């Protein structure tokens, strides 16, 4: 058995050889089958026209990647060759990653833009109006950046009544996109923020890339508070600009869009105070003339005549109703009196008073001669009393 190696031994030799001779390699290729595991690790395949190699990038290391890798994106990675003994396969343990060029980022930008547009995230129907007189403005940017200082100066000059609430955030590099999204959610948890400005100053496509990330775009779309996107310079466009309720060319322009000008307000108030009383008198006078003309016009008299005619008709109907009611009531009273007279004429006492009498025998009234028993006593009732006959 001399010279025969086990599987573990040959794999170990290969692992040692590869890892000692390829401790650092730079490789260019296209991403395929990219998967961000729940553990935070990244797994993907790097390929070209003729070959492919498996790659891993561990959690913590991948935090330093400023963009989200996508299938089809061409990248340059730096790492070392490792062997995974259980499968006997080799892979690249990636230590850093960057796009192969600006074109790759631009392609990723266009791909995400088309995807979100198809989902309706850019539609005007979802845009919320920007309040004209905000009391509190939330700002998501770097607190030590020039953009924030410019926005503060403009707010103080234009509308010193407004309160600025800064949610300081990284605006470029690793983790910037997640931090921006979290700060937008944080401001949404407050119930007194009227509008949010999200942005930063100018820079390269890589510098602005955090605002092209899907996580930021979806967070802006889900915001209940109106958002103004102000990223870079006037020529710069990001995904955030398309999703936001309003796009500003620069952070300074965003603050001007979010605040009214105190000078314009004072000028309006001054002009209004001078103009308003005179204008109100003029308006009242005009309406007074119109009302008087309307009242005196034939068209206005017609409704009054109609009302008067209806009132007269109502009076006539009321009179006729009352008259008919009285007649009916009188007839009913006469009929009632006649019935009372008839009932009274049939009263037994009145009949007896006229000379009639009632004969009762054995507690029965005798109404016929044949019913009378001559051998028995009987009672005769007169109007003024009764007599027993034995």
CATH number at residue 167: 3.40.50.10550
Q: Confirm if 24 and 96 have CB atoms less than 8 A apart.
A: no
Q: Confirm if 208 and 231 have CB atoms less than 8 A apart.
A: yes
The whole domain housing 254 covers 133-260
CA distance 245 to 236: 17
Check whether residue 165 and residue 76 sit in a common domain. Answer: no
Residue 120 lies in a domain: no
pTM attached to this predicted model: 0.60
Q: 302 in helix, strand or coil?
A: helix
Q: Which of 260, 283, 303 is the last residue of a domain?
A: 260
Check whether residue 95 and residue 22 sit in a common domain. Answer: yes
What total of structural domains would you count in the chain?
A: 3
Q: Confirm if 236 and 212 have CB atoms less than 8 A apart.
A: no
Check whether residue 138 and residue 33 sit in a common domain. Answer: no
CA distance 254 to 246: 9
What radius of gyration do the chain's Cα atoms show? 52
Check whether residue 224 and residue 147 sit in a common domain. Answer: yes
Check whether residue 87 and residue 194 sit in a common domain. Answer: no
Residue 217 lies in a domain: yes
Angle (nearest 5°) at CA 120 between 102 and 171: 40
Check whether residue 96 and residue 176 sit in a common domain. Answer: no
Check whether residue 208 and residue 166 sit in a common domain. Answer: yes
Residue 149 lies in a domain: yes
Q: 36 in helix, strand or coil?
A: strand
Check whether residue 150 and residue 47 sit in a common domain. Answer: no
Residuewise pLDDT in 10s, the chain (390 residues): 677 888 888 888 888 888 888 888 999 999 999 998 888 899 999 998 889 999 999 988 888 888 888 888 899 999 999 988 888 888 999 999 988 877 888 888 888 999 999 999 999 999 999 999 999 999 999 999 999 999 999 999 999 999 999 999 999 988 899 999 999 999 999 999 999 999 999 888 888 999 999 999 999 999 999 999 999 888 888 999 999 999 999 999 999 999 999 888 888 777 766 667 777 787 888 888 788 777 776 666 666 677 777 888 887 888 888 888 888 888 888 888 888 888 877 777 777 777 888 888 887 888 887 888 778 888 888 878 888 888
Check whether residue 96 and residue 175 sit in a common domain. Answer: no
CA distance 379 to 387: 6
Angle (nearest 5°) at CA 177 between 171 and 180: 70
Strand order in the sheet with 358-361: 364-365, 358-361, 378-382, 385-389
Residue 274 lies in a domain: no
Check whether residue 60 and residue 143 sit in a common domain. Answer: no
**β pairing state of 358-361 and 378-382:** antiparallel
CA distance 33 to 46: 9
Check whether residue 229 and residue 153 sit in a common domain. Answer: yes
Cβ neighbours of residue 25 under 8 Å, at least 6 residues apart? 78, 79, 80, 81, 92
CA distance 138 to 227: 9
265 CB neighbour count, 10 Å cutoff? 14
Check whether residue 154 and residue 244 sit in a common domain. Answer: yes
CATH number of the domain residue 75 falls in: 2.40.50.140
Residue 212 lies in a domain: yes
Q: Which of 260, 284, 313 is the last residue of a domain?
A: 260
Q: Which of 220, 243, 260 is the last residue of a domain?
A: 260
Query: What residue has token string 């920007």?
Result: 130
In this structure, what are the phi and psi dihedrals at residue 228, rounded to the nearest 5 degrees? -105, 125
């Amino acid at each position: 058995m001399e010279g025969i190696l086990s599987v573990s031994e040959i794999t170990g030799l290969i692992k040692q050889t590869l890892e000692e001779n390829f401790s650092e390699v730079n490789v260019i290729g296209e991403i395929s089958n990219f998967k961000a595991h729940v553990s935070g690790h990244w797994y993907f395949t790097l390929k070209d026209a003729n070959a492919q190699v498996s790659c891993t990038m561990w959690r913590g290391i991948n935090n330093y990647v400023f963009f989200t890798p996508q299938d089809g994106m061409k990248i340059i990675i730096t790492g070392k060759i490792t062997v995974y003994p259980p499968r006997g396969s080799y892979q690249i343990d990636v230590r850093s990653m960057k796009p192969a060029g600006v074109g790759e980022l631009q392609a990723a930008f266009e791909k995400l833009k088309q995807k979100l547009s198809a989902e309706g995230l850019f539609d005007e129907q979802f845009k919320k109006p920007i309040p004209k007189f905000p009391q509190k403005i939330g700002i998501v940017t770097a607190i030590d950046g020039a953009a924030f200082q410019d926005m503060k100066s403009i707010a103080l000059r234009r509308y010193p009544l407004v309160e600025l609430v800064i949610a300081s955030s990284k605006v470029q590099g690793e983790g910037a996109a997640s931090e921006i999204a979290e700060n937008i959610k944080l401001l949404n948890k407050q119930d007194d923020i009227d509008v949010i400005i999200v942005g930063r100053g100018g820079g390269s496509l890589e510098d602005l890339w955090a605002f092209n990330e899907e996580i930021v775009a979806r967070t802006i779309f889900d915001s209940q508070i109106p958002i103004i996107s102000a990223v870079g310079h006037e020529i710069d466009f990001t995904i955030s600009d398309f999703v936001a309720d309003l796009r500003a060319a620069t952070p300074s322009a965003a603050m001007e869009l979010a605040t009214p000008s105190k000078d314009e307000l004072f000028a309006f108030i001054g002009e209004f105070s001078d103009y308003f009383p005179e204008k109100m008198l003029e308006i009242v006078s005009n309406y007074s003339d119109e009302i008087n003309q309307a009242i005196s016009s034939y068209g206005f008299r017609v409704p009054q005549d109609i009302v008067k005619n209806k009132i007269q008709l109502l009076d006539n109907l009321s009179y006729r109703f009352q008259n008919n009611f009285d007649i009916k009531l009188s007839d009913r009273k006469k009929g009632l009196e006649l019935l009372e007279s008839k009932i009274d004429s049939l009263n037994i006492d009145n009949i007896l008073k006229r000379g009639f009498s009632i004969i009762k025998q054995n507690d029965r009234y005798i109404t016929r001669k044949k019913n009378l028993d001559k051998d028995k006593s009987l009672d005769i009732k007169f109007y003024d009393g009764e007599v027993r006959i034995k």
